[in-house]
Amino acid sequence: MDILLERKSVRKYTGENVKEDDLNYMLRAAMSAPTARNTRCWSFIVIKDKETHKKIADVHKNAQMILHAPLAVVVVGDTNLSYNGYFSQDCAAATENLLLGAVAKGYGAVWCGVYGNRERQEHLEKLFKLPDNIKAFALVVIGKSDDNSPAKDGWEPSKIKYEKWN
């Protein structure tokens, strides 16, 4: 199975729970992502509580699928550990690995943006009582996919340049 080409954003879930071993695999995949100077400045908050899901959905209007998923993971970055402010790149790499880990274990997932949206970021940071140096970066909703559509083919040769722009 080529998970890189099979990954897609999944927003519909069966409601089936995520196995603990599978979740740990996904988190291990996330923690295998590269970071600037190996700072490993990211951490992960696993959320299974439905009341918390509702509180997130109340503010993050593009994350309504969380209401029908068994869990979500908030990826956060520690600005004190980050090398030269690269925490957002480090967290992005971890987020992508988390998504790929979900596909590898037969789950669907979607990356819901947080970092860069002040309202979403502040809401999650307050909801999870994060200290000032810990910044909410992304929300990843995970569950067994109830979406049978194929992944989109992202191959676009016109986006490739060699040696210079023109």
Q: What is the pTM of this model?
A: 0.95
User: What is the per-residue pLDDT for 66?
Assistant: 98
| Boundaries of every domain in the chain | 3-159
In this structure, are strands 134-143 and 42-47 parallel, antiparallel, or unpaired? unpaired
How does pLDDT run across 39-63, given as a tens digit for each residue? 999 999 999 999 999 999 999 999 9
User: What is the per-residue pLDDT for 148?
Assistant: 87
Report the top-level CATH class of 3-159.
Answer: alpha beta
CA distances from 1 to 22, 29, 53, 124 (A): 17, 16, 31, 35
- Model confidence at 78, pLDDT cuts 50, 70, 90, reads very high
Residues found in the chain? 166
